[in-house]
A and B are shown apart, each in its own frame.
Chain A
């Protein structure tokens, strides 16, 4: 039986699958259920300094090829996370937890990282790349090397925990942006956030389906694009990556790891396979490893021969 455990910045994961931020992560019990179903680790929803209401509905829909969402980062704020989500999750902690944070300004990023650092997450993931809050926040910080690096520099001073920067795919130089963050002390990356924003139209009503009109695109069709981003970041920095985007099966996880991912973020899969899909994916990974003589999953990280 293959060993699926992975070490990521000194944190041990029993398998490389991680619940991606924004899916299911409203409460500690929901995060724990993802672990019970098979996830190797979990990521909180993006935590703000204060609360954020998010967008009105419809906030998401799926098709056979892709999924779109504009939830708008709804959250009850860092005090609720500190009082409820983290203590409840950390009591009988079943797997590592990544605290994901978001902010509208560099100053708020510093404040929320300082607060979440004290909550005891295994790592901190900084969301500078959400594509569906542009009306509220403007162009994401992840869209330029200078602003991505600035956020990294400021938050680096607020935590000694492994610091992950969540990158945007909606740029033409993701490798350079990753390098700029690495130079400011990023320990690793989550690549990538959703694509776009995109647009879906109800042709009967002649209206955008999402209340926010546009939204981030994820799901099966995004996988090749996400894989290329992961490969680019891996080549540019060599730092550990949580490869995220379009992963639906155990073989998709393997593919993502071959492109350079050390952990694999899984979110939209929950729509297609249910949260139980985590366990099925882990089983599919084991089967592939056994069939292909892979004893330790870490062997395949970055194994693609170009």
Chain B
């Protein structure tokens, strides 16, 4: 019996390098063979502070990246750390975006969702990728320069204020692309209300030919190891940290909660503002 597989203690890993992405977003580089797939996450322990889940922005088997926004609380403490400081890592955890060589993929990212989608695009060698990214304004766009360097990828930008790309939602861009091109898979990562809208666009175009759609769902995750039940999904009761974070749209759209509400640290419901 492989007993080691039951060891879920954090591993102490030094921060190799910190890359400033924008005013309040950093990419943390760790020289550590995590072995994650696009869409998977780690639990990042800031010693003495807290431990939170973050999706992986890149992993080549030797090093991995976490792109993190300073939203206060634990992330504010993380932003005080320097290269060489050690943090605790548990993972990789959860499910990933699945695709096959030669497929045509459209990724739809909202805000920080660009990071895991970059991981998809960079890994999807032999696939054609339409990389659609939306943000409130130009300053908040992430990973665009890196993605533009990838040969198999076409970048589409949408901003709320029109300061870059088209003015409007990234779902409008997706709709146009699905009108014009044959796409095998759509991947979404961003605010849940955006993800729900992506699913609806996919459904509209799936009537003739089925398009696979996988979505990364953000829930309040406490333990990350399938025990505490904080991230249980209504009404199947399955756990987002085990069944997800990447889940099939056809599963998600039947849930009473998806795109409607989320739960806090105590398990109380909060409805999304639309």
Contacts and interface: CB of A to CB of B under 8 A. Distances in A.
Interface of A: 23-27, 29-34, 36, 45, 51-54, 56-64, 69, 71, 74-77, 80, 84, 200, 202, 204-205, 207, 209, 211, 268, 270-272, 274-275
Contacts of B235: 29, 32
B235 to A, nearest CB: 5
A59 B50 CA distance: 9
Given A57-B222, A63-B7, A200-B9, A205 B47 contact: yes
Interface string B239-274: 100100000000000000000000101111100000
A72 to B, nearest CB: 11
Given A33-B236, A61-B9, A64-B7, A76 B268 contact: yes
B9 A64 contact: no
A26 B229 contact: yes
Contacts of A64: 3-4, 6-7
A272 B10 CA distance: 17
B233 A29 contact: yes
Contacts of A33: 232, 236-238
A25 to B, nearest CB: 6
A62 B45 contact: no
B238 A202 contact: no
A271 B225 contact: yes
B12 A76 contact: no
B59 interface: no
B194 to A, nearest CB: 24
Interface in B183-211: none
Most B CB contacts (10 A, CB to CB) among A61, A71, A271, A274 go to: A61
Most B CB contacts (10 A, CB to CB) among A24, A25, A58, A74 go to: A58
A209 B9 contact: yes
A27 B234 contact: yes
B43 interface: yes
Contact of B225 (A62, A74, A75): A62
Contacts of A77: 266
Nearest to B264: A76
Nearest to B227: A271
Contact of B266 (A69, A75, A209, A274): A75
B229 A25 contact: yes
Interface in B61-117: 86, 88, 90
A32 B234 CA distance: 10
B225 to A, nearest CB: 6
A71 B47 CA distance: 17
Contacts of B51: 56-58, 211
B170 interface: no
B18 interface: no
Contacts of B267: 26-27, 74-76, 80
Nearest to B5: A64
28 contacts: A24-B227, A27-B232, A27-B237, A29-B232, A30-B229, A33-B232, A33-B237, A51-B266, A56-B50, A57-B50, A57-B222, A60-B223, A63-B6, A63-B9, A64-B6, A74-B222, A76-B267, A77-B266, A80-B266, A84-B269, A202-B12, A209-B9, A209-B10, A270-B226, A271-B8, A271-B226, A271-B227, A272-B6
A69 B12 CA distance: 19
B146 to A, nearest CB: 30
Contacts of A29: 232-237
A198 to B, nearest CB: 13
B206 to A, nearest CB: 27
Given A23-B229, A204-B11, 6 more contacts: A51-B268, A62-B8, A71-B222, A76-B267, A84-B269, A211-B51
Contacts of B232: 24, 26-27, 29-30, 33
Contact of A58 (B88, B236, B269): B88
B268 A80 contact: yes
Most A CB contacts (10 A, CB to CB) among B52, B242, B268 go to: B268
B50 A202 contact: no
Contacts of B11: 204
Given A26-B263, A76-B267, A211-B50, A59 B228 contact: yes
